[in-house]
């Protein structure tokens, strides 16, 4: 059997996976619907294997990178989950205080991809904190299917408090200069928007394909925003026009990019939804945005 490539997969399969990844289908329903596309030499097993995350071969920054100090810490979240675990990463041998960036995971906990993003942020000269909102339930379980199931059990408002507590932990860290930004993906994109709503003192927010806050909440934002969307992500994009209207009406500073021809999750290099060109460009913009707004 030939090796599957991205161009072998129809957009319908990507849309199906998006429904599954966002809990609109359970695994049995997903596999049943996926079987409809197992034709012409394709099997359900091969399709499932191809579209599922590959965390083994995709790390861009190794956990033991010699230029970084990267370790798990815990911090208190009195209004949220109690005590939250997170990956704290920063450049080694740094003699000056650094801006801080909170890295917020998707709807499945602190998986290897998000840990890798946290280390990527640190490689750019920031101190990063990637919390695991699944900590009160035992933490990321080692696979995304169980992670999604676990995260559904947590209250969203409590998780907001967990990430607000991460902001305060990082802001008061001895190696942080007090300037804090946030970047998040999918659920983390929505969470980034909500932290901007809740914390007017937040210095910068970069939501990737995140659902938008209500009009009432959006009007409260004081934080500069860099909004990253995928053209084919109709589920999330349907909320963008109303959000932009509120941002303009309230003179909220923002930049927005809709990357053509790419799917929700295009930054995630562990699945075939990944688009290198869009991911690289969006990341360049993200780092430049943080340097502009966080470096004193």
Q: At 249, which CATH number?
A: 3.40.50.1820
**Residue 171 forms part of a structural domain:** yes
- 107-146 pLDDT tens trace: 999 999 999 999 999 999 999 999 999 999 999 999 999 9
Question: Which residues, 6 or more positions from 130, have their beta carbon under 8 angstroms from its beta carbon?
Answer: 86, 87, 89, 102, 103, 104, 105, 110, 114, 115, 117, 118
192 plus 86 within the same structural domain = yes
Give the pLDDT score at 296: 66
- 230-288 pLDDT tens trace: 999 999 999 999 999 999 999 999 999 999 999 999 999 999 999 999 999 999 999 99
Query: Taking 70 as the threshold, does the pLDDT of residue 1 lie above it?
Result: no
Q: pTM of the full predicted structure?
A: 0.95
Structure tokens that stand for 33 in this block: 């619907």
- 14-36 pLDDT tens trace: 999 989 888 888 889 998 998 88
Angle at 141 between CA 140 and CA 147, to 5 degrees: 70
- Phi/psi for 116 (5° steps) reads -65, -40
**Residue 137 forms part of a structural domain:** yes
Report whether 281 contacts 266 (CB < 8 A).
no
What's the distance, Cα to Cα, between the start and end of the chain in Å?
56
Task: State how far the Cα of 159 lies from the Cα of 150, in Å rounded to an integer.
Answer: 13
Task: State how far the Cα of 36 lies from the Cα of 166, in Å rounded to an integer.
Answer: 44
- Give the single-character DSSP code of 104: E
User: If DSSP codes are grouped into helix, strand and coil, which group holds residue 144?
Assistant: helix
Give the distance, in angstroms, between the CA of residue 71 and the centroid of all CA atoms in the same chain: 19
**Residue 58 forms part of a structural domain:** no
- 60-114 pLDDT tens trace: 999 999 999 999 999 999 999 899 999 999 999 878 999 999 999 999 999 999 9
**Residue 152 forms part of a structural domain:** yes
Number of domains forming the structure of the chain: 2
User: What is the torsion angle, in degrees rounded to the nearest 10, for the CA atoms of residue 288, residue 292, residue 293 and residue 295?
Assistant: 100
- Beta bridge partners of residue 181, listed in sequence order: 101, 204
- Phi/psi for 72 (5° steps) reads -80, 140
SS3 for 180-242 is EEEEEECHHHHHHHHHHHHCCCCCEEEEECCCCCCHHHHCCCCCCEEEEEECCCHHHHCCHHH
Residue 27, domain extent: 6-51
124 plus 11 within the same structural domain = no
107 plus 232 within the same structural domain = yes
Half-sphere exposure of residue 101: CA atoms within 13 angstroms, side-chain side = 32
100 plus 26 within the same structural domain = no
Which of residues 42 and 205 earns the better pLDDT score?
205
pLDDT band at 37 (very low <50, low <70, confident <90, very high): confident
Query: Taking 70 as the threshold, does the pLDDT of residue 198 lie above it?
Result: yes
115 plus 260 within the same structural domain = yes
For the beta sheet containing 82-91, the strands, ordered from the edge strand earlier in sequence to the opposite edge, are 68-77, 82-91, 127-131, 98-104, 176-185, 204-208, 225-230, 254-259
42 plus 132 within the same structural domain = no
């Amino acid at each position: 059997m030939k090796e599957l490539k991205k161009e072998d997969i129809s957009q319908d399969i990507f849309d199906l996976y998006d429904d599954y990844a966002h809990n609109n289908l359970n695994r049995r329903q997903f596999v049943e619907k996926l079987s409809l596309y197992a034709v012409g030499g394709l099997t359900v097993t091969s399709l499932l294997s191809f579209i599922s995350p590959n965390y083994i071969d995709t790390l861009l920054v190794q956990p033991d990178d010699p230029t970084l100090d990267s370790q798990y810490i815990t911090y208190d979240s009195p209004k949220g989950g109690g005590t939250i675990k997170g990956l704290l990463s920063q450049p080694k041998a740094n003699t000056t205080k650094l801006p801080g960036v909170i890295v917020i995971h998707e709807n499945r906990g602190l998986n290897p991809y998000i840990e890798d993003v946290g280390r990527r942020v640190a490689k750019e000269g920031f101190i990063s904190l990637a919390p695991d909102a699944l900590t009160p339930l035992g933490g990321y379980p080692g696979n995304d299917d169980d992670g999604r199931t676990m995260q559904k059990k947590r209250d969203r408002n409590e998780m907001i408090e967990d990430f607000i507590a991460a902001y305060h932990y990082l802001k008061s860290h001895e190696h942080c200069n007090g300037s804090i930004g946030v970047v998040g993906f999918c659920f983390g994109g929505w969470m980034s928007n909500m932290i901007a709503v809740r914390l007017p003192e937040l210095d910068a927010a970069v939501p990737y394909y995140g659902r938008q806050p209500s009009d009432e909440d959006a009007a409260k934002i004081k934080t500069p925003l860099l909004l990253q969307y995928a053209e084919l992500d109709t589920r999330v994009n349907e909320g963008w026009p109303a959000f932009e209207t509120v941002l303009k009406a309230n003179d909220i500073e923002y930049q927005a990019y809709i990357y053509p021809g790419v799917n929700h999750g295009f930054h995630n290099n562990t699945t075939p939804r990944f688009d290198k060109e869009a991911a690289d460009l969006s990341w360049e913009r993200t780092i430049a945005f943080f340097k502009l707004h966080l470096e004193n």
